[in-house]
Amino acid sequence: MVSLKNKQSKKLFQESQIFFPGGVNSPVRAFGSVGGDPLFIKKAQGAYIWDVDGNKFVDFVGAWGPAILGHAHPEVVQTVKQVVELGFGFGAPTEGETKLAAQIQSFFPSMEMMRLVSSGTEACMSAIRVARGFTGRNKVLKFDGCYHGHGDALLAKAGSGAATLGIPGSAGVSPDSAKDTITCAYNDSTEIEQAFKQHGSQLACVIVEPVVGNAGFIKPKAGYLKELQALCMALC
């Protein structure tokens, strides 16, 4: 086994803990649950990243999704430079937003209206708010192990029984924030059928990772997502 040199990462981690809880700015970057210290990354190119100690790695994370073209693709870098030269941000509408929306809609025609936001947490919170506003219902169904951002209502875990109302899954989340969240086990048809039977008339929406990435890339069993879709359509 090759021993990884990480002296500089260790030093930077010690310094970062002075300013940030746990030394990181997102729990997903912490190593506490798996042992060791996080590596501090210095640069990236294509499919590779280098840490501050000079170790080179194949990057299977891709900035948790957005780096679909790899890192520092020349065309992307050039376009970013051109845009930044016009300014960093205006707090006002721009033509680029409309062009981007039109491009997205050309790929996904069902997206008739959009709202561009800065994070997945905002996107999930906004989608749930729209569902609640449209249906006039309050409850949301999510699945254990799925991650949908840091909104309080989504940081809920299952209670003592199947298809239960959620209980806070993180310190700082009040019971009232989680009380309208229903939690089920992923890939368990019996649980979702029970949840719809028990709470369907109060259910605003279901939120799900089609492939559960946050709990180890769990694939849906054959027909599971179609079954879930059918249950939702029956409430419309």
3-state helix, strand, coil in the chain (%, to 5): 40, 15, 45
In tens digits, the chain (236 residues) has pLDDT values of 346 789 999 999 999 999 999 999 988 788 877 888 899 999 999 999 999 999 999 999 899 888 999 999 999 999 999 999 999 989 999 999 999 999 999 999 999 999 999 999 999 999 999 999 999 999 999 998 888 988 888 887 755 444 556 677 777 777 777 889 999 999 999 999 999 999 999 999 999 999 998 777 899 999 999 999 999 999 87
For residue 87, give Cα distances in angstroms to 23, 79, 80, 116: 31, 13, 11, 19
1-89 has which CATH code? 3.90.1150.10
Residue spans in the chain of domains classed CATH 3.90.1150.10: 1-89
120-235 has which CATH code? 3.40.640.10
**Could you tell me the two tokens for 4?**
């990884």
Residue spans in the chain of domains classed CATH 3.40.640.10: 120-235
